[in-house]
């Protein structure tokens, strides 16, 4: 079997401070894998410039001109990490056998790329890079990430804990990923849905090499909301259930107010007022829940995700060539 062509996709937004070092390290990894015969000599790094206003694109152009294994895509404006990554994966999917996505900031250990390729050779279509610990992250980031992961789990979204967007995907996994046409992208939620054979490699996550995080708190929060609402209609069911609870409370309040009324302890007007508040709120919430359920259905239809993903087909004898 010929060695596979590897494409390393790196989204970059205002990364001029780290790009020279990233380029050196990725270059070294590619060279060593080529000399081991693990990947083809046509393998390359594909930088995706996500509308940076700094020197990122001129740098990428320079690497493309002066080095062998470097390619670049320049997006017309800033579209965010997930979209930039998707742009890169879409572009390389017909021009490689395997693609690895990695951030530009060198937080993920490039030395496990070799292990990822090995797992691919062993038959995996998707290999997740998973952090062993989060010691280099702040207490706040660690705990918000854990909370977010647990919340996602409870909403029924499959995702791999401590895995960001550092992963290997085979060509057919990339093809299948490109069938997910949704606009609100949360790639790490989609990949587990592909259903191919997967495995993990573990590494220590380092500090950002240089520059600043492009994910301030507000962006992280939006990302979390996107992650949940793109994959789950459970929040709508919560509204419905809340409505049921309200009706139950209305029933208890009914008994209580009747008791007070009979005992003569109630001020006139209070009984009917308090009852209608609980009862109508309950009815309103239930109605909202029902409407939400339909909107949820429309939402999943509009996303038009593929219904299934074929792993392999064994044809009957007469259909064989
Ligand atoms: N990034 C991007 N577009 C953006 C924001 C970030 O392409 O609008 C890239 C960024 O250059 C980096 C990756 O996404 O390669 C992850 O960003 P960052 O390291 O700042 O996030 P953190 O690791 O702090 O969550
Ligand atoms: Mg980072």
Establish whether residue 13 lines the binding site of ligand 1, counting it when its CB lies within 6 angstroms of any ligand atom. yes
Band (pLDDT 50/70/90 cuts) for residue 1 is low
Predicted confidence (pLDDT) at residue 320 exceeds the cutoff of 70: no
169-181 mean pLDDT: 93
Percentage of the chain with pLDDT > 90?
A: 55
The pLDDT tens digits of the residues spanning 35-74 come to 999 999 999 999 999 999 999 999 999 999 999 999 999 9
| pLDDT > 80? residue 235 | yes
Q: Which residue's C-alpha comes closest to atom 19 of ligand 1? A: 213
User: Which atom of ligand 1 has the smallest separation from the CA of 84?
Assistant: 7
Q: How confident is the model at residue 321 (pLDDT cuts 50, 70, 90)?
A: low
Q: Which atom of ligand 1 lies at the shortest distance from residue 104's CA?
A: 15
Atom of ligand 1 nearest to the CA of 79: 8
Question: Looking at residue 150, what is its pLDDT?
Answer: 87
DSSP string, 108-139: S-GGGHHHHHHHHHTT-SEEEEEES--TTS-H
Contact 189, 159 (CB under 8 A): yes
- In this prediction the pTM is 0.83
Q: Ligand 1 centre and the CA of 308: distance in Å?
A: 31
- Dist CA 321 CA 178 (whole Å): 29
CA angle 141, 147, 152 (to 5 degrees): 125
For residue 10, the model assigns a pLDDT of 96
| Residue 305, pLDDT above cutoff 60 | yes
pLDDT in tens, 26-39: 999 999 999 999 99
Higher pLDDT, 230 or 63: 63
Average pLDDT estimate for 171-183: 91
Cβ-contact 182, 104 below 8 angstroms: no
Q: Is 222 in the pocket of ligand 1 (CB under 6 A)?
A: no
* Nearest CA residue ID for atom 8, ligand 1: 80
Q: What is the reported pLDDT for 317?
A: 73
97 Cβ below 6 A of ligand 1: no
In this predicted structure, the answer to whether residue 314 has a pLDDT above a threshold of 90 is: no
CA distance 198 to 125: 6
């Amino acid at each position: 079997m010929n060695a596979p062509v590897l494409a390393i996709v790196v989204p970059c937004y205002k990364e001029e401070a780290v790009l020279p070092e990233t380029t050196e390290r990725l270059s070294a990894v590619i060279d060593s894998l080529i000399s081991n015969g693990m990947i083809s000599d046509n393998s390359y790094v594909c930088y995706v410039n996500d509308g940076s206003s700094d020197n990122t694109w001129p740098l990428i152009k320079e690497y493309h001109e002066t080095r062998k294994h470097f390619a670049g895509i320049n997006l017309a404006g800033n579209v965010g990490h997930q979209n930039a990554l998707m742009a890169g994966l879409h572009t390389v999917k017909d021009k490689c056998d395997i693609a690895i996505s990695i951030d530009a900031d060198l937080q993920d250990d490039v030395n496990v790329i070799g292990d990822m390729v090995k797992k691919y050779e062993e038959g995996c279509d998707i290999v997740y890079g998973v952090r062993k610990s989060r010691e280099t992250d702040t207490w706040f980031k660690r705990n918000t990430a854990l909370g977010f992961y647990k919340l996602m789990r409870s909403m029924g979204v499959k995702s791999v804990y401590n895995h960001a967007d550092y992963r290997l995907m085979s060509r057919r996994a990339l093809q299948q990923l490109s069938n997910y046409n949704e606009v609100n992208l949360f790639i790490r939620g989609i990949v587990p849905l592909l259903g191919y054979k997967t495995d993990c490699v573990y590494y220590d996550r380092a500090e950002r090499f240089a520059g600043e995080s492009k994910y301030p708190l507000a962006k992280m929060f939006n990302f979390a909301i996107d992650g949940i609402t793109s994959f789950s209609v459970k929040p709508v069911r919560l509204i419905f259930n809340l409505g049921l609870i309200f009706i139950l409370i209305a029933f208890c309040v009914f008994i209580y107010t009747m008791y007070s009324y009979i005992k003569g302890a109630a001020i006139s007007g209070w009984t009917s007022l308090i009852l209608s508040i609980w009862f109508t709120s309950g009815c309103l919430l239930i109605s909202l829940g029902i409407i939400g359920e339909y909107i949820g259905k429309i939402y999943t239809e509009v996303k038009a995700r593929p219904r299934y993903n074929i792993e392999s087909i064994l044809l009957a004898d007469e259909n064989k060539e």
